[in-house]
């Protein structure tokens, strides 16, 4: 069995996010090339399952009549964010220096975790 089935999707998202933040702090604060490379690869493994779990959670929380359009909006905002946030991060890094990247990544992951805290854990799913 996978971890999100045993622990619960919402809880596993918080665990993955907190572990990713911790590993990003390792990349930021520990001056080791190998340690940073291993941490970044593990961060990728932790962030990978978040999108499918998000879509599954949306199916549980949102009413059926709203689900299709909502999944389109979620996917659209995800694509827009994946195009816009690296551009913004690069712009900030070019102005402030490369040292601004790690604090910015930690802040973005913390903000993502905060947004997940606002998502309801159980919805009132109706068929209408």
User: Which whole-number Å values give the CA distances from 119 to 4, 19, 90, in the listed order?
Assistant: 17, 20, 29
Q: What is the average pLDDT value for the chain, to the nearest integer?
A: 88
- Taking only the tens place, the pLDDT of each residue in 62-119 is 898 999 999 999 999 989 988 998 898 889 989 998 888 899 999 999 999 999 999 8
pLDDT of residue 109: 94
49 secondary structure, DSSP code: T
Domain residue ranges in the chain: 9-118
Confirm if 12 and 4 have CB atoms less than 8 A apart. Answer: yes
Nearest CA to 20 out of 45, 2, 37, 3 is that of 45
Confirm if 106 and 25 have CB atoms less than 8 A apart. Answer: yes
CA distance 97 to 93: 5
Kindly give, in sequence order, each residue whose CB lies less than 8 Å from that of residue 19, ignoring residues fewer than 6 positions away: 42, 46
pLDDT of residue 99: 86
The pTM for the full model equals: 0.83
CA distance 58 to 61: 5
């Amino acid at each position: 069995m996978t971890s999100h089935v045993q622990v619960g999707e919402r809880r596993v998202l918080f665990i993955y996010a907190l572990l990713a933040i911790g590993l990003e702090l390792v990349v930021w604060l520990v001056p080791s090339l190998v340690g940073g490379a291993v941490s970044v690869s593990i961060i990728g493994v932790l962030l990978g399952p978040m999108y499918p779990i998000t879509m599954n959670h949306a199916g549980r929380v949102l009413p059926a009549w709203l689900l299709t359009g909502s999944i389109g909006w979620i996917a659209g905002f995800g694509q827009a964010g994946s195009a816009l946030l690296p551009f913004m991060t690069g712009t900030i890094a070019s102005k402030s220096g490369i040292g601004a990247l790690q604090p910015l990544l930690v802040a973005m992951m913390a903000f993502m975790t905060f947004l997940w805290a606002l998502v309801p854990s159980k919805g009132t799913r109706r068929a209408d």
